[in-house]
Amino acid sequence: MILHTINKPAALTLCEHLIRDDDLVVLIEEGAYLAGHEIPGQVSVIGSDMSARGLGDTAKEIQRIDYAAFVAMCASADKICSWF
C-alpha cells in the first residue's frame, strides 16, 4: 500500500491516475482545499489544515486526522509518495 500526500490542488492531476483503491491519500496544507472532491483511494485530511483555511465542515464525509495519526499512517505504509 502506498501513502500519497498531496499538498496543493494542482498536484492531484499529477498523481490521480496512479492512486489505487487500496492506497491511502492524505491531503495536507493547501491540499486541504481538495476535501470533498472525488479522489481515488482512502482519503484523509489533516484537520488543523482544514481549520486553518476556514474550511470547517465543508466535506463531512472525509476523515479528519491529526499529525499523530498521519505519522502512524506513514510508519505503516510500504511506500510514501509526496505530490507538490
**C-beta separation of 2 from 81 below 8 A:** yes
How do residues 18-31 score in pLDDT, each as one tens digit? 999 999 999 999 99
pLDDT for position 61? 81
Q: What does the pLDDT read at residue 60?
A: 72
C-alpha to C-alpha distance for 46 and 12, rounded to whole angstroms: 16
Residues in the chain: 84
Asked if residue 41 lies in contact with residue 21, where contact means CB atoms within 8 angstroms, the answer is yes
Q: What is the pLDDT of residues 4-60, one digit of tens each?
A: 999 999 999 999 999 999 999 999 999 999 998 999 999 999 999 999 999 877 767
Mean pLDDT of 55-69: 86
C-alpha cell at 49: 489544515
Nearest residue to 45 (alpha-carbon basis) of 57, 58, 35: 35
The grid cell for 73 is 499512517
- Report pLDDT for 56: 78
Q: Is residue 81's pLDDT more than 80?
A: yes
Q: Which domains does the chain have, with CATH numbers?
A: 2-83 (3.40.1260.10)
